[in-house]
Copies of this chain bind each other. A is one copy, B any other.
Amino acid sequence: MNKLSYGLISLLSTKPMTGYDLTLRINRFWQSTHSAIYPLLSELEEKGYVKFEEKKQFDKPDKKIYSLTDKGMELLGEWFISETSPPVVRDEMSFKLSCMHLMDDDLVEKFLDEVERRYNKKLEEYKKALEVMSLKSRESLEDAFSTYFGAYVLTQRAMNEVILGLEWCKWVRSIYKNKQFQLINQNFKR
């Protein structure tokens, strides 16, 4: 049982899904592809934590709808109270910062443009995700009993993180532009 396996049963606790659905859902906060997910689902099924129902389709490929078993539900509870391992973050961007002081101003500006574009794209994604959620959910999203609750609070955090990222870009730019002149502190620091 690796972390991704627990992630799969955790997502399945919100509702039964196919491996394809899980792949789409999981990508927002855990990089992985279907090639990693399908074998793990089979393993979970063998171990009895999940079961699946095969559904024939005629216009689309047949699919397997996975859901949690009682044994899987039990495992979920044990995992939830176990220690959470620290996050793994690997961002090439942060490496580029280390040599920024050696690069020409126009190159740094282009780099910051790219970073901002990246953040803005993410922002749109999250906004859309929240819209979709509020359409699908009958209850308020701020209902702690709703199956969307986890996704909702997670997306809110991610959204605020990218907004912070955009503020940070502005702040870095301001230092950069004023490097020979006086400093204008745009209040990024707290």
A contacts, CB < 8 Å to B = 3, 6-7, 10-11, 13-14, 29-31, 76-77, 79-81, 83-103, 107, 110-111, 114-115, 118, 140, 142-147, 149-151, 153-154, 156-157, 159-161, 163-165, 168, 171-172, 175-176, 179, 183, 185, 188-190
A29 vs B189: C-alpha distance when bound (angstroms)? 19
Which residues does chain B contribute within 8 Å of A107, judged by CB atoms? 80-81
Among the listed B13, B31, B142, B163, which residue makes an inter-chain contact with A183, where contact means beta carbons less than 8 Å apart? Answer: B142
Which residues does chain B contribute within 8 Å of A115, judged by CB atoms? 84
A96 in contact with B118 (CB, 8 Å): no
B160 in contact with A188 (CB, 8 Å): yes
A96 in contact with B80 (CB, 8 Å): yes
B99 in contact with A13 (CB, 8 Å): yes
What are 20 A-B contacts with C-beta separation under 8 Å? A10-B95, A29-B94, A30-B91, A30-B94, A84-B93, A84-B96, A84-B111, A84-B118, A88-B90, A94-B154, A97-B153, A101-B146, A101-B147, A101-B149, A144-B175, A156-B171, A157-B164, A157-B168, A159-B190, A161-B164
Chain multiplicity (copies): 2
A59 vs B14: C-alpha distance when bound (angstroms)? 58
Among the listed B86, B88, B150, B179, which residue makes an inter-chain contact with A88, where contact means beta carbons less than 8 Å apart? Answer: B88
Which residues does chain B contribute within 8 Å of A98, judged by CB atoms? 7, 10-11, 13-14, 150-151
Kindly provide the distance from the CB of A26 to the nearest chain B CB, expressed in whole angstroms: 9
Among the listed B84, B89, B92, B96, which residue makes an inter-chain contact with A89, where contact means beta carbons less than 8 Å apart? Answer: B89
